[in-house]
Amino acid sequence: MKTPKRRYKGICLEFASQAEYEKMLEDKKRFRNYLKTKGKEHPELFPEEMPRGFNFCGYVESKKQDIKMRRIKLKNNEVYQIRPSFLMPYMIAKTDEIEKALYLRGFGVPFEALAYVFGRDPMYYYRAFIAMGKVNLVSTTVKSQKSLPKHLLADEKHTWISGEKLFAATTVGEGCMLGVGISNDASTSGLTSAYEDFKLEAQTLDPTYSPLTVNTDGWLPTIQSWLTLFPFITPILCFLHSWLKIQDRCKKVKDIFPEIKKKVWHIYHSISRSQFAQRIRRFKDWSISNVKEISILSKILELCSHSSKFKLAFDFPLSYRTSASLDRLMNYQDRILYSSQYFHGHQQSAKLFLRSCAILFNFHPYGFRSKSNFPDRISPFSDLNGFVYHKNWLHNFLIASSFAGSRFKHKKR
């Protein structure tokens, strides 16, 4: 999604409570000190001109929620509105009133069901959900240049709009969905345009950003699109996909399958390029002598022929060698798309839907079992950045999405 020409003028901040906020609203000195403190703690939430000073310039009053919001004017005459995180954008609701309904969207609960349980009407929840996808996906999720992943995974989720096939070009890094674009076909030009959304959004955070590697399933247009966008990137072939092709052919051949599986993953666990090459040569020789099924042998030889592509991963120890980290997130996509019976409107609304799903995944709180095993883990956002702005996931997202997640200016720190 391209950077909008219109600058977003909303700054969202945490306040202890509405009562505390209203007290602070009437005390200019206290409010000013609070803004200065937050500006030092989290400068990414404020305009870059903020340290030069600001003046208060009146209020904006929400009749819907019966609350006032302060506005500030910077030295460059830009005016910004300070919104507390307990209010949703456009004042559609108090955050805590809608948080649980939006959380359930992560499980594919229909909008009709949300309306039945929580009141209002289905379109109210649909609009609130879709609005989440309007922010800059990368810089809302990644809060500093140093946290931008250098190693990525990319693949296309097949979906449909009114019966016509679409390809959702999905980019993943460090356990978060960082890009979702849409293409009408799986050609190089179509996928380049779809993946370009990720590039444009990442470069609002770091104009010089260029990832080191991207793991793909080997589809040539996917690789070509990434090389078009980032000429110095190294595409790494997913080892898992090559194995799954062999496994699929072995369903009816149970006797030799365990041995093939053992040898394939023995290759994968090589600790050096030379050891990998040696093991794959031995596996090839063994397969030619022992595997009689032509359909299986052809896939084994195909895996062996990609040896040079697999070995590239040894030049980048932190790169992804399989697509497992991507597949888990695309399974999440698949569940939500299936539950909604895919798309029936326009491509732009479909794209916003997918982006909202990505935002919801990045900010959703981990479940009880995850917290029991890893008490310090809160959400994918916290894993990536090492902190949260607020303990509640929706408050955390709203604060992270100040300026729609993007400050639109760049300064190396």
Per-residue pLDDT of the chain (413 residues; tens, 9 = 90+): 444 444 568 899 999 899 999 999 989 999 999 999 999 999 999 988 888 999 998 888 888 888 999 999 998 888 999 999 999 988 899 999 999 999 999 999 999 999 999 999 999 999 999 999 999 999 999 999 999 999 999 999 999 998 899 999 999 999 999 999 999 999 999 999 999 999 999 999 999 999 999 999 999 999 999 999 999 999 999 999 999 999 998 877 778 899 999 999 999 999 999 999 999 999 999 999 999 889 999 999 999 999 999 999 999 999 999 999 999 999 999 999 999 889 988 999 999 999 999 999 999 999 887 777 777 889 999 999 999 999 999 999 999 998 766 654 434 33
Total number of domains in the chain: 2
Amino acid at 184: N
Measured CA to CA, the distance from residue 218 to residue 237 in angstroms comes to 6
Q: Is residue 168 part of a domain?
A: no
Could you tell me if 201 and 223 are in contact, meaning their C-beta atoms sit under 8 angstroms apart? no
Choose one of 315, 343, 359: the last residue of a domain. 315
Confidence at residue 4, expressed as pLDDT on a 0 to 100 scale: 44
Give the max Cα distance, the chain.
84
Could you tell me if 181 and 352 are in contact, meaning their C-beta atoms sit under 8 angstroms apart? no
Q: Is residue 77 part of a domain?
A: yes
pTM: 0.91
Measured CA to CA, the distance from residue 347 to residue 170 in angstroms comes to 16
Choose one of 268, 284, 315: the last residue of a domain. 315
Report the first-to-last Cα separation within the chain, whole angstroms.
26
Cα-only R_g, the chain: 24
Rounded to 10°, the helix 347-363/393-400 angle is 120
310 and 384 assigned to the same domain: no
Q: For residue 269, give its domain range.
A: 240-315
Choose one of 278, 294, 315: the last residue of a domain. 315
- Within 10 A of 376 (CB to CB), how many other CB atoms are there? 7
15 and 88 assigned to the same domain: yes
Confidence at residue 251, expressed as pLDDT on a 0 to 100 scale: 78
Q: Is residue 334 part of a domain?
A: no
Measured CA to CA, the distance from residue 329 to residue 252 in angstroms comes to 30
Which one, of 153, 148, 137, 154, lies nearest residue 209 by Cα? 148
Confidence at residue 65, expressed as pLDDT on a 0 to 100 scale: 84
